A = this chain, B = another copy of it.
Amino acid sequence: MEKIKIGIIGLGTVGTGTVAALRRNRELINKRLGASIEVKRIAVRDIRRPRQVDLPPGILTEAADEIVHDPEIAIVVELIGGIEPARSYILAALRAGKCVVTANKALLAECGQEIYQAAAEAGTEVAFEASVGGGIPIIKTLREALAANRILSLLGIVNGTCNYILTRMTEAGLSFNEALTEAQKAGFAEADPSLDVEGLDSAHKLAILATLAYDTCIPLQEIYVEGITAVEPLDIRFGRELGYVVKLLALSRETDGGIEVRVHPTLVPEGHMLASVREAHNAFYITGDTVGDILLYGQGAGAWPTGSAVCADIIDLARAIRRGKKTRLGPPSFRQPRRLLPMEEVVSRYYFRFSAVDRPGVLSKIAGVLGDHRISIASVIQKGRDEGGSVPIVMITHEAREADVRQALRVVNRLEVVTAATKFIRILEGQHFAPSP
């Protein structure tokens, strides 16, 4: 049986899952592939450290360069994460004529074009299923299964940490800090959770997906990013009363004005499939002009699920290599510039929670300001009184422009009767995402 040799750089969580899966299901993979995958070398920082997977003696090296330049190795698997030295290893491997598999979302979000380009120039391929959504085949679905679709919208719950925290805030009434502490204890959040809870991890993933969905370069810094640290239990409760669940969505859609790319807490209608995605799960809800609505759901992180995706990429490339080819899809098409819609121009419905003194005329004053800014109100909840003598007033708006909303809230927040900065959350409307045919 033909042997295809691979080298792995990095034996952390994902590397361990990958090696363990290749080993456990070796026979099955051989049968499906019609060839055998042999892990020839694994580069690690410290070869003496104990490992959670059985390894043949001598397979570890501290010199990643050996892998990158080994003429027997056909596929280099980069699993160290971060920009450097991952970027240099990948570029060197591609230039040495090797196929590359990577799970490195930060690198692809920041330097994707450079890497896709280098693969194209070398006549080889870079595969990156594991960079987004763990074992969920979102990259394959976008690049292959939906290749005949114009993607009208893509909605993702792409960060398991945030979804776990929001789930616990919703279901157990915890505060953000309580839920974060619990997530850290349960192993769903890092000691320094900022990359997750501030939304940057979600933005990395959205940059990768939107580039594929819209065949254009999506610079990371053009993505509007708002994390979940300011989400309050009170807003989750009001949201539920109104029939919504708060989720951190990574959202991209095509509008007449341009492509929207944004990450922010969102009120998702209870009946929407994304509202059922609980705890650390990830999900992608894609609307294509031909396929209609598709949902992919599963575990978005962890050694095994992510290892499953890395292995799938290795097998895909091995199938091409067996046929004497080093590419199967070619690079994503990203050269056609397209207008990205500035956040100010986004149109959405909004949830507002005003804090105001409990006095006649307050509601009309606030509504007046909104009206002056072309914002019309769909429904209002006003009840209770908090300890400071001020009351929460909750409103759901009809469609409004983000710029108008920001301007209106600046004015509202300066009103004498308003006692604290107004909270607002954007609302996902199902009907905007219906398929066109």
Contact = CB atoms under 8 A, between A and B. Distances in A.
B304 A135 contact: no
B147 A137 contact: no
Interface in A19-67: 21-22, 24-25, 28-29, 31-34
A316 B22 CA distance: 25
Given A24-B289, A304-B290, A137 B148 contact: no
A31 B332 CA distance: 9
A149 B149 CA distance: 28
Which of A129, A134, A288 has the most C-beta atoms of chain B within 10 angstroms of its own C-beta?
A: A288
A211 interface: no
A293 B279 CA distance: 14
Given A135-B292, A437-B304, A31 B323 contact: no
A137 B305 CA distance: 18
A34 B143 CA distance: 13
B311 A290 contact: yes
Nearest to A294: B298
A290 B316 contact: no
B290 A307 contact: yes
Contact of A325 (B143, B291, B325): B325
A330 B141 CA distance: 20
Given A215-B31, A292-B135, A312 B129 contact: no
Interface string A134-174: 11110011011111111000000000000000000000000
Interface string A265-305: 00000000100100000000000111111111111001011
Given A137-B145, A149-B25, A293-B299, A328 B328 contact: yes
Nearest to A330: B34
A81 interface: no
Contact of A148 (B298, B302, B315): B315
Contacts of A147: 29, 32-33, 311-312, 315-316
Nearest to A292: B299
A427 to B, nearest CB: 20
The complex is assembled from copies of this chain, and their number is 2
Contact of A146 (B149, B304, B312, B323): B312
Given A31-B333, A327-B323, A291 B298 contact: yes
A329 interface: yes
Contacts of A342: none
B297 A148 contact: no
Contact of A305 (B135, B290, B297): B290
Given A24-B289, A292-B135, A293-B299, A146 B34 contact: no
Which of A146, A148, A333 has the most C-beta atoms of chain B within 10 angstroms of its own C-beta?
A: A148
Contacts of A316: 144, 147
A113 interface: no
Nearest to A28: B150
A366 interface: no
Contacts of A31: 215, 333, 336
B294 A295 contact: no
A126 to B, nearest CB: 16
Nearest to A145: B137
A309 interface: yes
Contacts of A136: 294
B148 A312 contact: yes
Nearest to A325: B323
A423 interface: no
Contact of A137 (B129, B137, B276): B137
A24 B29 CA distance: 38
A148 B215 contact: no
21 contacts: A25-B150, A28-B215, A33-B147, A129-B145, A135-B145, A135-B288, A137-B141, A137-B144, A137-B146, A144-B315, A146-B312, A273-B276, A290-B307, A291-B298, A295-B295, A295-B297, A304-B435, A304-B437, A319-B329, A320-B323, A325-B325
